[in-house]
Amino acid sequence: MKHLLLYTISPVQTFIAQARKARDLYGGSKLLSDLIEAVITQLISSLGAENIKIIFPYKSIVQKPNRLLAEVTMDNTQKVTVTKILNEVVRNKLISIAKDVINQQNTQWNSDIENQLSDLVQAYWVMRPFGDSNYSDLYKLLETEIEGIKLNRKFNQYSDLGRKCAVSGEQNAIFFRVDNEKKLPAYTGKKLKPKMSSY
């Protein structure tokens, strides 16, 4: 049975507001693009290219936006697989990227990093059967539903004690510079590797 899927990653405004330099904007944009690409890749891998038609974003777009609109053909047995992909891929990809960056810095992974990453971005999605329905009406319904869901953002309560992050001020600073003369590497770049301390 065909379904129309609308999927988005939020919050984008936070990435923009906390960017200090052009490379921060680029890094945030690249991160969101990579996360959407991971969802698309996993859906195609699990369901097969013949069962998923990506309507937006167009496949040739390199820097993908934070949302996805797709026509998905699946039976009832595949619904659990699709639900799992939509709920878990973004978090798993984000943690994978973070672990790669942490390993480049020769630093230890810890639960504080994982806690902060689990609340960094959230995936929201809605999916409706798409039979003889008017595509335009169904799309408007999905837009309305996803905006309603996004108004109820989930978050975990943590007790953050200690030095706060200088960029957002919202979370504890897990890492800080020991040597201020070297620049920290951006997510997408190959820069010098400064000594890092964690506490």
The answer to whether residue 31 sits within a structural domain is: yes
Q: Residues 125-172: pLDDT tens digits?
A: 999 998 777 888 999 999 999 998 888 766 666 666 666 766 666 677
Q: How many CB atoms within 10 Å of residue 117?
A: 15
The answer to whether residue 161 sits within a structural domain is: no
The answer to whether residue 127 sits within a structural domain is: yes
Helix residue spans in the chain (DSSP H): 12-18, 22-47, 79-104, 111-120, 135-150
Reported as half-sphere exposure (CB side, CA atoms, 13 A), residue 92 has a value of 10
The answer to whether residue 191 sits within a structural domain is: no
The answer to whether residue 144 sits within a structural domain is: yes
**Cβ atoms of 120 and 94 closer than 8 Å:** yes
**C-alpha span between 40 and 128 (Å, rounded):** 18
Domain of residue 54: give its range: 2-152
- The CATH number of whichever domain residue 64 belongs to comes to 3.30.70.2220
The answer to whether residue 37 sits within a structural domain is: yes
**C-alpha span between 34 and 144 (Å, rounded):** 26
The answer to whether residue 173 sits within a structural domain is: no
The answer to whether residue 146 sits within a structural domain is: yes
Confidence class of residue 182 from pLDDT cuts 50, 70 and 90?
low
Question: Count of domains in the chain?
Answer: 1
Q: Residues 65-74: pLDDT tens digits?
A: 989 999 999 9
**Beta-sheet pairing, 175-177 with 196-198:** antiparallel
pTM over 0.85: no
